[in-house]
Amino acid sequence: MPPNLGGMTYMKRLFYVLVALWALCSAMPLLATPLDDLLAEHQATILKGSRKTVGKAIDALAASGIETAEQTLVQWRNKNLWYHKTESVFYTVQGGWYFDLNTGDKVGEFDKSVFKQLKPNSGVRGLISSALVNFQLTSQDIDKRLAAVAAIKRAPDAGHLALLQATLEQETDPKLRQEKSDLIGLLSIQFATSPEAQIQAIRAVSGSLSVEVRAQLNPLLQTTREVAKTLPENTNIAEVLTVGSDAFSEQEAFDLLIEKGLTKQGPDSAAIKTALSEHIEKGRVAGFSLASLADPDTRLEAYDTLVKQGLVPARIPAAEKENALASYVFFDQYNEPNAAITTAVKETLGHIETKVGAFTALDLGLDAVSLASIYFLAAIGLAITFGVMGVINMAHGEFIMMGAYTGYVIQQFIPNHTVSILVAVPIAFAVTFGAGVAMERLVIRWLYNRPLETLLATFGVSIALQQLAKNIFGTQARPLTAPDWLGGAWVLNDVVSISYIRIAIFVLALLFFAMFLFIIKKTRLGLEMRAVTQNPWMASAMGINPDRVNMLTFGLGSGIAGIAGVAIGLFAKVTSEMGNDYIVQSFMSVVVGGVGNVWGTLAGAALVGVLQKSIEWFNPANTLAAQTYMILFIIIFIQFRPKGIIALKGRAAGD
């Protein structure tokens, strides 16, 4: 019996221990944590939700170092923080359940009747977001730090300056460290604690080309137009205005006096016309015919008659108006009261504008070189056919178009853009070389020494090739996609940048230039081409077949145009009419540079490219006008140097 009783007692004791452990575990979430204590301490402020008072609670959470404080602030900002009225504890709610802020564990089923939702207004959400920036700036995750810096750039305030300065030394990423340093400089311009620090920050950015820097400096030079009896002392005046000048008329000055309540307001010309129109009776106003009111003096006389009748308010006499204007001084006053700051801003902006101007000229030069390389690629094939053979090939642009479409077709079969471009270059050369040879054999060879007929015939071929392309590919532009490594641009600073595709085309133009020089100087075909160019009859007597040389020359020029089409198609629209955009500039490059001379073609393309970009810089809104002025300039240039920049000796010189 005792053993049973003893065993029974042991089992009871074990049961009581288990019940106690279960109760303790159940009560665990209810035990206060540092976060709960902090929220309880600021409970009244948080529940009130006033921007004027809630800042202390937000700052306390941000500075607490509690691991879950950041997530609590996020939930608060997102309006997902709920107060349990019975337990006096804050929870989050999701999917019909409420969860513990410390552990994230599910606590119980949500009952809206015992909860109060915190709905922070935009001002409180802004304070919370600022506090969250502190967590992000000190995060181990670089993506969060980058996001924090981006958030500060979008909506900076004075508190961010101290946060950035505090975390700058601990920043491990060099690029982000530099970005933080630049941002500190920008914020110091606006939020520095003393004028001396602000001026130092302003002068520190005098060498910067950043748009953000200019955006920070320009507001410091904003002005307000003011009027006073005498110029006020201790006022940061930007400019004293001269009444009656082009920049500040008498009417503007008088309107300012009226706006400031310094003189009485009389009717202006519009009000006088309105008053006269309101008092028309039987085709007359105050006894004056409507026709006579076209005269300004008659209108005033009619208005004064209405004034005597007490029907309209009196005009302000001219003498009174002049006296009012003479009694006051008008000036523009800086909104920034500290003259030293505005002086530093003006000096800094002056340095920046000088530097921007220099880099703008450099950027314009790079654009001109890029455009010249494109024109050179388009013109080099024409330089061969026109210079050596004297053939005016109006279908040269269509060979460029054929090369671009060849690249497009190749990309349909080879999805790798790098490989497809490498394959497209020789195939485009082969296709357009064959087309050029066929055109020379079928059309050109029968029209040598007949330039007008050649021009008309090649123009007809041009139209036929365009229509053929439309029938095959349609009228919509086709994409010739550049490889990923040619995407983007080389950015030197906020002013100077050039796309990688244009850089690649420039390099390609140099390669073609070197290749063409090699063909001309080092190959048998080049020797024969030069011989035929100098004297076709003597070359024929030496055993050279001019007919064969002309055929190969025309094919070579057409093939080079096909390769140029692949390059141009990487950034320009590929359509059946794309050749029209380059044929005029190609002819100009050849003619201006010197017919039949590759060095001349290079010089001509450079001149045309620089000239076009320069004219566009003076008149950027009208590119058509720029091209018109360029053509007029070239016509004048040809009058003084008809053989081009580099004249060719031999037959071409005689021609």
pLDDT, residue 499, reads 84
CA-CA distances (angstroms) from residue 451 to 76, 394, 454, 597, 642?
Answer: 83, 11, 5, 20, 18
Query: How confident is residue 20, by pLDDT bands cut at 50, 70 and 90?
Result: low
Question: Which residue has better confidence, 347 or 450?
Answer: 347
Residue whose C-alpha is closest to residue 133's, from 198, 91, 183: 183
Residue whose C-alpha is closest to residue 364's, from 460, 258, 495: 495
Rounded CA separation 604/590 (Å): 6
pLDDT, residue 432, reads 93
For residue 264, report the phi and psi dihedrals to the nearest 5 degrees: -80, 155
Rounded CA separation 300/266 (Å): 13
Contact 579, 507 (CB under 8 A): no
Give the range among 6-20, 136-150, 211-225 with minimum mean pLDDT. Answer: 6-20
Query: How confident is residue 650, by pLDDT bands cut at 50, 70 and 90?
Result: very low
Report percent pLDDT > 70 for the chain: 91
Residues 6+ apart with CB under 8 A from 579: 396, 397, 398, 399, 400, 401, 462, 466
Mean pLDDT of 460-465: 92
Question: Ranked by mean pLDDT, which of 11-25, 159-173, 228-242 comes out on top?
Answer: 228-242
Residues 6+ apart with CB under 8 A from 420: 407, 410, 411, 413, 414
pLDDT, residue 11, reads 60
According to DSSP, residue 248 is labeled B
Using DSSP's 3-state secondary structure scheme, residue 224 falls into: strand
What predicted TM-score, i.e. pTM, was given to this entire model? 0.64
Q: Chain-wide mean pLDDT for the chain?
A: 82
pLDDT at 1 over 50: no
Using DSSP's 3-state secondary structure scheme, residue 98 falls into: strand
Residue whose C-alpha is closest to residue 128's, from 64, 43, 36, 57: 57
Instruction: Provide DSSP, 568-592.
Output: HHTTS-B-TTTTHHHHHHHHHHHHH
pLDDT at 528 over 80: yes
Mean pLDDT of 457-466: 91
pLDDT at 212 over 70: yes
Query: CA-based angle 611:616:618, to the nearest 5?
Result: 100
pLDDT at 2 over 80: no
Rounded CA separation 118/95 (Å): 18
pLDDT at 100 over 90: no
Question: Which residue has better confidence, 135 or 469?
Answer: 469
Report percent pLDDT > 90 for the chain: 12
Beta bridge partner(s), residue 227: 330
**CATH hierarchy code of domain 357-654:** 1.10.3470
Query: How confident is residue 648, by pLDDT bands cut at 50, 70 and 90?
Result: low
CA-CA distances (angstroms) from residue 457 to 392, 431, 462, 510, 524?
Answer: 10, 21, 9, 33, 31
Query: How confident is residue 494, by pLDDT bands cut at 50, 70 and 90?
Result: confident
According to DSSP, residue 482 is labeled P
pLDDT, residue 10, reads 57
pLDDT, residue 408, reads 92
Q: Which two tokens stand for residue 104?
A: 């994230």
Mean pLDDT of 185-198: 84
Mean pLDDT of 342-365: 89
pLDDT at 109 over 50: yes
pLDDT at 485 over 50: yes
Mean pLDDT of 371-380: 84
According to DSSP, residue 353 is labeled H
Contact 273, 267 (CB under 8 A): no
Exposed, middle or buried by CB within 10 Å (0-12, 13-18, 19+), for 120? buried
Q: Which two tokens stand for residue 599?
A: 């060095």
pLDDT, residue 210, reads 80
Written as one letter, the residue type at 295 is: D
pLDDT at 175 over 80: yes
Question: Ranked by mean pLDDT, which of 261-265, 355-359, 514-518, 635-639 comes out on top?
Answer: 355-359
Rounded CA separation 274/543 (Å): 95
pLDDT at 6 over 70: no
Query: How confident is residue 141, by pLDDT bands cut at 50, 70 and 90?
Result: confident
Rounded CA separation 523/511 (Å): 17
What pairing do the DSSP bridges indicate for beta strands 223-228 and 329-334?
Answer: antiparallel
Rounded CA separation 128/51 (Å): 10
Question: Which residue has better confidence, 207 or 428?
Answer: 428
Q: What is the pLDDT of residues 283-326, one digit of tens each?
A: 888 888 888 888 878 888 888 888 888 888 887 777 788 888 88
Exposed, middle or buried by CB within 10 Å (0-12, 13-18, 19+), for 100? buried
pLDDT at 68 over 80: yes
According to DSSP, residue 481 is labeled P
pLDDT, residue 651, reads 44
Q: What is the pLDDT of residues 22-52, one digit of tens each?
A: 444 444 444 456 777 888 888 888 888 777 7
Query: How confident is residue 401, by pLDDT bands cut at 50, 70 and 90?
Result: very high
Mean pLDDT of 530-544: 79
pLDDT, residue 30, reads 45
pLDDT, residue 187, reads 83
Locate the domains of the chain by residue range. 1-31, 138-221, 357-654
